[in-house]
Structure 1
Amino acid sequence: MGRKQNPDSDRDAMTISEAAKLLHVSRTYLNTLIDEGRLDRVSYSQGGHRRIQRAAVLAYKEQSKITQKRGLNRMVDASHRMRLYDRELEELPVRRKG
């Protein structure tokens, strides 16, 4: 990956710390995502610090939400097929109005 200099006029670039905070992940994990090519649009400051475009971070966040939702839906479907919810309901105490 070539190092691109971050233009001074680029106001939509975020620091790694800012992006990690927005994604609720550690800076180390965010750097791993960048190194693995899962997050792009990265440039470097004159001091050699990574900067990432806000749009890329927001797009990754949205895609992560979609992926998580799909995974949760598959888990719920599997639980229904295995009748796990029925078993849970059987164990719940019944409250009666008195």
Structure 2
Amino acid sequence: MNEPWDLYVMAAMYIVAGILHFVKPKAYIRIMPKYLPNHRELVYASGLAEIGLGIGLCIPQLKNIAITGIILMLAVFLMVHFYMLRGEKEGAGIPKWIL
């Protein structure tokens, strides 16, 4: 357990966020860009990715792979955030400064 505590906090945040994709999928589906197909499946896939990458952060042998995966995942998620900035409906009422 020589890893910094904040790594485990980050892992827990990704795991919880990933679980929420399955518990509250509608919250994620409504912010999906209209041009992407299969919204529900993409929400579930991204939830699985977040859970897997969060777990990977806790396994020393997988930590660097998980970090790379998180960077790539966040780069892909940027398209959702740019879409949400288009308007109030697309942003689901979330203030722009949060996005």
Q: TM-score, normalised by structure 2?
A: 0.35
Q: Which has the higher helix share?
A: 2
Bigger Rg, structure 1 or 2: 1
